[in-house]
Chains A and B, each alone.
Chain A
Amino acid sequence: MTALISIQGGAKRFVKGRETITIFDHLDMTIEAGDFIAIMGPSGSGKTTLLNLLGGIDRATSGSITFAGQRLDQMSEGQLSNWRAANVGFIFQFYNLMPALNAARNVELPLLLTSLGSGERRSRVETALKIVGLAERAKHYPREMSGGQQQRVAIARAIVADPKMLLCDEPTGDLDRKTADEILSMLQLLNKEMGKTIIMVTHDPEAARYASRVLHLDKGRFVEQVAA
């Protein structure tokens, strides 16, 4: 396997009043294409901050972040937007769907950033909704769906533009066990059958068991454990 994304000497610090808070320092990590990584750790350990850096929505204080040979830390805001649109699918804990749009339109949203015609976009939306098993709910609005269904729409939105990498921030944190297992199985399927590289932040050891590698972030350092 080849490295898809890596951080070398990554550091993230915040200035709060007169105090400088270091989230992590000299952090090194490499994620191979096709990996399914679970990142665990106590609250405030910097899991979400790390995910934001890997997703290009936050910038490291120092260090380099490289994705398939491209230096994210050297990109402008506009270049990062384009890079995210082409390479990253995001799945959030609280789904973050647009309440004014129905499921199909929510899924179509990332495709507005491509040059695809309306026919091709419609076809891709249908396929994505079929993959997550919600083809029949295409016209339903988020308020008309359960949490699990909304998260499946969010997964369809994340994969519709066929990105290489999916970043999931506590994707099952708001779901019951049964629904959580369905969502995690779906992510596992996307990883194994479609080759998506998945990086998932979670508090839930049960969720972490679906990953091929589990990294524990503690006091700014990784402690790797191989999943059972």
Chain B
Amino acid sequence: MTDFSLILANLFSRKLRAILMLVAIFFAFLIFGVLAGVQNGFNNIGGAAGENRLVTINKINFTQPMPISYIERIRAVEGVARASYANWFGGYYQEGKNQIVTFAIDPEFYMDIYATDYKLSADQRAAFLADRSGLLVGQKLAERWGWKLGDRIPLSSNIYTNKNTGKQTWDFTIVGILEPAQENADTSVAFFHHAYFNESVTFGQDTAGWIVIETTDKALNTDVSKRVDAMFANSPAETATDTEKAFNQAFVGQLGNITLIVTLVVGAAFATILMIVGNTMVMAVRERTKEIGVMKTLGFPSGRIFKMVLGESLLLAMLGGLPALGVAAVLLTMMRKAVGFPGLALTLDFTALGIAIMLALGLLTGIVPAWNALRLNIVTALGRQ
């Protein structure tokens, strides 16, 4: 027998109570783990690869287009390495519920700028450039629908109408499958020629939804943003330029303040758990007053008993919390595979934060009963029936 086995025996001396406390702690940390993973997913939108990428949109908001002619003027700005443009297509496959993130892009530069995110073979790149109705699909998207190179597929738009057919559907040939070049790359997307889009839509010709700029150095991002926006100041379509990461997060921000939601939900869960576990620990140690008195009588020093009681609450927090983080990591992996949302993961930072919170929970709930045990008078304890 060791002090640890003694702590373990005391912790489970009332099995039902111990299990209920463990379950409460488990669910609190499961919520923490999953929400932290979701927050990480949102934080990583844009990814590290986009550090020297800027996005220019219409100053009114991103739903308003800009003249496509802006692209040449932007390419001439000092500090701009490359620039490309795209439009949101609002795509879906067969039924409206099968939403597919689809962009009409400038084929020549767009995929070059995103070469850090997606791998595309030279053959497939050449095939895409050569075929105006060619479609590049991400690996995850292709796997989901069982698409392969050469497949002819129809994609529909919930915004635009094809003036050639009078319907909202365009036909495409899959000419390339995009593989992820980095962990956060989203391969549940599709890209097609902006020219194909531009010549067949009934409105919005010669406009771009946004322009992507690659700067020569991320240190120049601020200067380039200012130069671009100054260039179009007082024009009918003024621009707002920001980093790609900020743009994407602002886009997601429309869903609400994720950080605030995470903080409030986790905070409320922890406050509740803290009160339940703290109260139960105080009661549990109070019930063992006489036993603690006997241990002191046998010669156990007060400091050692203090450590044992504190160790009990720390062990409780760890036994409940660590498996919860493990389950959260598995759930996040399953969610990432199911919805194709990169960045849904329990990072080392959040794992460390979770463990730090477990330690804090253990210390906060254990300190009062441990202190009471430390100060316990033997004669008083033995006299208690």
Contacts and interface: CB of A to CB of B under 8 A. Distances in A.
B357 to A, nearest CB: 28
A137 interface: no
Interface string A156-180: 0100000000000000000000000
Is the contact region of chain B dominated by helix, strand, or loop, or is it mixed? helix
Interface of A: 52, 55, 57-58, 77-78, 81-86, 90, 92, 96, 98-101, 105, 108-110, 112-113, 121, 157
A82 B303 CA distance: 13
Contact of A58 (B1, B3, B13, B379): B379
Interface in B274-290: 290
Interface in B126-174: none
Given A57-B378, A96-B290, A96-B294, A84 B299 contact: yes
Interface of B: 1-3, 6, 9-10, 12-13, 290-291, 294-302, 378-379, 382
A112 B1 contact: yes
Contacts of A55: 297
Contact of A81 (B9, B290, B301): B301
Contact of A109 (B10, B295, B301, B379): B295
B299 A82 contact: yes
28 contacts: A57-B297, A57-B378, A57-B379, A57-B382, A58-B378, A58-B379, A77-B302, A81-B300, A82-B299, A84-B297, A84-B298, A84-B299, A85-B300, A86-B299, A90-B294, A92-B382, A96-B382, A98-B9, A99-B13, A99-B291, A100-B13, A101-B1, A101-B6, A101-B9, A109-B298, A113-B298, A113-B300, A121-B1
B221 to A, nearest CB: 63
Contacts of A110: 298-299
Contacts of B298: 84-85, 90, 109-110, 113, 157
B291 A98 contact: yes
Given A84-B299, A96-B294, 11 more contacts: A57-B378, A57-B382, A58-B379, A85-B300, A96-B290, A100-B10, A100-B13, A101-B1, A101-B6, A112-B6, A112-B300
B150 to A, nearest CB: 70
